[in-house]
């Protein structure tokens, strides 16, 4: 697969206007993507659970312009409010994907988007948001080229979403998605996310993710800056090779349902991601005191309760608690008794593994 595969042949149909809508989930990485090459190519492969409740819904209306425009013609609304400050991000996205969607300058777009999770919860909406927008745009391309097959639709949606936000490549399908080339995974690619092709044990069915909202403020350092700091990072080479090795280990972990090993790698990946931030130049830290309090509580509770709860982190202070469905009631109690106190305004979100984006 190459980028060329996503440059369309001349369209066979014409369409003057219409609307479409997609609901896309967020995802949580188990092996983290941190560091990239030009063109949103990941420095190492990553793997994630697709979530179910944390979603973005995007409605896209499109009207053919009398004359195609030099710049892009669009408005973007978030939860009913016109968001002029979102325009540069979308314009950058359109510029990156224009080669692959030549109709972009021929239409006016009205993009209405809303998230299922509270606004400014510290949960990044870029993965679900870019996925939903990419899928809506693919709907238009399918109208222009009705012979498009489903596989191509899904692959190209992931390809486009990746160009909006790397991790968005993993927010099209579910329940487990790998993005990035890896020697053991046939069909894996730096260009798109693919459904994890190997056996996955029953214990991972409906696996739970409770997101503890530790800090809902704006991050001090964006992912874009963080990825960039992996260039010339003193530990980059080892980190990228470690990610490849960790991904290999998941093959047995998933097949056997080996939760002990799962926990070891997932927690190590989370701490390594943050260790990369703390050892880059300039260095920075996104964890907050309550992030560490929660991690220590989890470790103590795991020993005492003999459950399999573990944590992972995104590029932020919030903590994702991962655990099998069979332990839901005991972990619920643990959250209420011991962890809520460390969440901003006592807020947390209950989620679980999901199956990918749906037409809304």
The contact set with ligand PMV (CB under 6 A) reads 29, 32-34, 46, 124, 126, 165-167, 223, 227, 273, 314-315
Residue 299: partners with Cβ closer than 8 Å, 6 or more residues away: none
Kindly tell me which of 227 and 297 has the beta carbon lying closer to ligand PMV. Answer: 227
Q: In the bound complex, what is the minimum distance in angstroms from residue 105's beta carbon to ligand PMV?
A: 26
Kindly tell me which of 167 and 210 has the beta carbon lying closer to ligand PMV. Answer: 167
Kindly tell me which of 182 and 227 has the beta carbon lying closer to ligand PMV. Answer: 227
Kindly tell me which of 133 and 273 has the beta carbon lying closer to ligand PMV. Answer: 273
Q: In the bound complex, what is the minimum distance in angstroms from residue 46's beta carbon to ligand PMV?
A: 4
Kindly tell me which of 35 and 324 has the beta carbon lying closer to ligand PMV. Answer: 35
Q: In the bound complex, what is the minimum distance in angstroms from residue 176's beta carbon to ligand PMV?
A: 13
Q: In the bound complex, what is the minimum distance in angstroms from residue 110's beta carbon to ligand PMV?
A: 25
Phi and psi at residue 27, in whole multiples of 5°? -145, 160
Q: In the bound complex, what is the minimum distance in angstroms from residue 353's beta carbon to ligand PMV?
A: 15
């Amino acid at each position: 697969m190459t980028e060329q595969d996503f440059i369309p042949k001349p369209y066979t149909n014409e369409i003057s206007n219409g609307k479409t809508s997609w609901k896309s989930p967020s995802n949580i990485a188990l092996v983290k993507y941190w560091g990239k090459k030009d063109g949103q190519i990941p420095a190492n492969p990553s793997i994630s659970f697709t979530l179910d409740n944390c979603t973005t819904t995007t409605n896209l209306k499109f009207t053919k312009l009398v004359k195609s425009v030099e710049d892009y013609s669009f408005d973007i609304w978030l939860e009913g409010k016109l968001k002029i400050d979102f325009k540069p991000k979308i314009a950058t996205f359109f510029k990156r994907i224009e080669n692959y969607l030549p109709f972009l300058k021929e239409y006016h777009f009205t993009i209405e988007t809303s998230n299922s999770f509270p606004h400014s919860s510290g949960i990044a909406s870029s993965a679900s948001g870019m996925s939903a927008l990419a899928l809506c745009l693919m709907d238009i391309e399918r109208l222009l080229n009705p012979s498009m097959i489903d596989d191509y639709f899904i692959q190209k949606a992931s390809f486009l979403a990746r160009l909006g936000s790397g991790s968005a490549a993993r927010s099209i399908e579910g329940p487990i998605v790998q993005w990035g080339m890896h020697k053991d995974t046939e069909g894996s690619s730096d260009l798109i996310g693919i459904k994890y092709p190997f056996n996955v044990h029953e214990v991972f069915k409906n696996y739970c993710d409770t997101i503890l909202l530790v800090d809902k403020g704006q991050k001090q350092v964006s992912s874009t800056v963080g990825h960039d700091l992996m260039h010339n990072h003193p530990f980059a080479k080892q980190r990228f090779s470690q990610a490849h090795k960790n991904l290999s280990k998941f093959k047995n972990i998933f097949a056997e349902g080996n939760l002990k090993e799962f926990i070891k790698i997932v927690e190590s990946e989370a701490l390594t991601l943050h260790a990369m931030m703390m050892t880059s130049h300039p260095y920075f830290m996104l964890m907050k005191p309550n992030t560490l309090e929660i991690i220590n509580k989890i470790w103590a509770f795991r020993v005492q309760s003999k459950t399999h709860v573990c944590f992972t982190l995104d590029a932020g202070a919030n903590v994702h608690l991962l655990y099998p469905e069979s332990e839901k009631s005991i972990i619920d109690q643990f959250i209420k008794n011991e962890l809520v106190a460390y969440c901003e305004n006592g807020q947390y979100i209950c989620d679980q593994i999901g199956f990918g984006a749906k037409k809304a």
